[in-house]
Chain A
């Protein structure tokens, strides 16, 4: 099976812009979770989608949003970018019955 894929891999944006990141889960996996990784805060949970519904949400401002499509692909959007949003954004998928999450390669976002 193909692994989790994320696009784009690298992104440079300017403060105030918005950005959309995409994640395709492992075939058959219906749960997609997003995490932000920074040197200072480590790995932090953003949100989780299951069957097109947001099932869980972390402590991030409303500028961070996401959605999931009927084919389980997921997107996350960050509006009004701030310098502090510079991070590695990781997407993970799981099958649901099993708790293991399998991660994609990440999208490195740099906000200037």
Chain B
């Protein structure tokens, strides 16, 4: 069974600065995808970024980038130039590439961006 661990329950960052959110996972699968989702106070779950396990290149989406370390089973999210609208819960999630469409989520981390 896959597990996803987010050990930091809360983080805070000053507007315009950079913050890194940590995530580790455990799986015996070799082919899978990892995601970061954002859940603002509205509770709408928003896909931030995805990473394919077979790709060595780290994914980037505008101010969001990941540091994917497959051997270490680590998948951190870096948010550059933090904005007030980045305040939200962030969830790390895993899915394998089989017919199983089950997303396994971490417990989430609450990020607060200070003005």
Contact = CB atoms under 8 A, between A and B. Distances in A.
Same complex for A and B? Answer yes
B43 A101 contact: no
Chain B contact residues: over half helix, strand or loop, or mixed? loop
A50 B101 contact: yes
B105 A33 contact: no
Contact count band on A = 20 to 34
A56 B103 CA distance: 11
Contacts of A100: 35, 47, 50
A43 B43 CA distance: 12
Interface string B64-99: 000000000000000000000000000100010101
A58 B1 CA distance: 12
Contacts of B44: 103, 105-106
Contacts of B97: 99
Contacts of B47: 100-102
Interface residues of B, number: 23
A94 interface: yes
Contacts of B106: 42
B6 to A, nearest CB: 10
Interface string A26-63: 00000101010000001101001010000110100000
27 contacts: A33-B103, A42-B105, A42-B106, A42-B107, A42-B108, A43-B103, A43-B108, A45-B103, A45-B104, A48-B102, A55-B99, A55-B101, A56-B100, A88-B43, A90-B45, A92-B103, A94-B101, A99-B33, A100-B47, A100-B50, A101-B47, A101-B95, A101-B103, A102-B47, A103-B45, A105-B44, A106-B43
